[in-house]
Amino acid sequence: MNFFKKFKTLIGWEKVFVEPEFDLDAEIYSQLKPFRFPLILIQIIMIIGTLGYIYIEDYSIMHAIFQAAYTFSTTGFGALNEHNFSNAGIVFTVTLILGGFVALTFSVGVLIDVINKGKLFGLIKERNMLYKIARLRKHYVVFYHNEYTIELTKEFRENHIPFVVVDPSPNIEEIAAEYRYPYFVQEEPFTERAFLKSHLSSAKAIISLSKNISDNITLISSARLYEKELGRKPFLIICNAENQKDIDKLTKLGADKVVAPPKLMASRMSAMAVRPEMESVLEELLYKKDTPIDMEEIFVPVNSWLVNNKLKEAHLRDIINVSVVGIRPKFGAFLSMPKGDTVVSEECKLLVVGTPHGIARAKKIVRQSQRPKELSDV
């Protein structure tokens, strides 16, 4: 086993054939158990047939195996010298034909029974899906299928964001085909099986979209316990809620973001009614893909050169045409439209507006531990 692992590492297969965290081999093996007796029976008959032709008709080993095989399978005669069989050989051949017919009929019956139960092929398909999910990194795990999930996953697909949908519905495969979910798991969302099958350990975020507040509560609690068992950094957990009371509950339990569809709809409609032109601008800026202007938060790490320096010293506007429109400190209130003399604190977040390329460059500038050389000439 160690040699095989080293061989896969040497040729790079470990990057392609990633083992899923949940193993279905035991369940698949239990479905294959009924085949053990027919296979053993066929092997015993083949051995008896081979030995019989060697002893009775003085065949060579290879000729005996060949004669036993096509006699046992009742495919016919003529390849060898059956017309010269002795009486003992004829009786033995008839017995072998009858034994082969019984064994093959029994084997076909077992095969049909396993197929009718429908579990084996389903397990094999699920196993293939788990191997695909195991290759994902920084993906989003979306729990519960409903109309919110349908709209959210449309956005994910358009923006090439990897995701896995987890839902307990027995017809989740048909649902996934209809709504184009590339990866899906049929499990009760808050269980460890669901976490293992969706490869939650390598996921970036959890999104719970159940309309039942108790489902979201259970999922948040289970996910926070699971991340402690893994010893990894906390998941980003996003949930939906129907009212402010539910928002407060989910936030206290550990949800990072809680979206209330009724409140969100009211806010959007109010913006449309009061400032329709501004709503159009936001639509272009935030919700459409491939927009030339983007908005994003940039995290300022502790070791960033910008910590305890003035914002204007970064020259983001001058060099890469990126504007800082807000600062969210680690502790304290959000500061909108900060001035150039504003001192940047550690672990704050800069809300920036600019082109996607410019924002990517701004991230590199902010995250460096030493003042970038490109700023020396400014």
CB 296 within 8 A of CB 324: no
Beta-bridge partner residues of 335:
327
Tens of pLDDT along the chain (378 residues) come to 455 455 444 444 444 457 888 877 777 777 777 778 888 888 888 899 899 889 888 888 888 888 888 787 766 555 556 677 888 888 888 888 888 888 888 888 877 776 676 677 778 888 999 999 999 999 999 999 999 999 999 989 988 899 999 999 999 999 999 999 999 999 999 899 999 999 999 999 999 999 889 999 999 999 999 999 998 888 999 999 888 888 888 988 889 998 887 666 555 555 555 555 555 555 555 555 555 677 889 999 999 999 999 998 888 888 888 889 899 998 888 898 899 899 999 999 999 988 888 888 899 999 998 888 877 666
CB 277 within 8 A of CB 339: no
Rg (CA), the chain: 33
Provide the β-strand partners of residue 285: none
- Report whether 252 contacts 217 (CB < 8 A): no
The pTM of the full predicted model, rounded to 2 decimals, is 0.63
Buried b / exposed e over 223-257, threshold 16 CB at 10 Å, is bbebbeeeeeeebebbbbbeeeebbebbeebbbee
Q: Answer whether 324's CB lies under 8 Å from 300's CB.
A: no
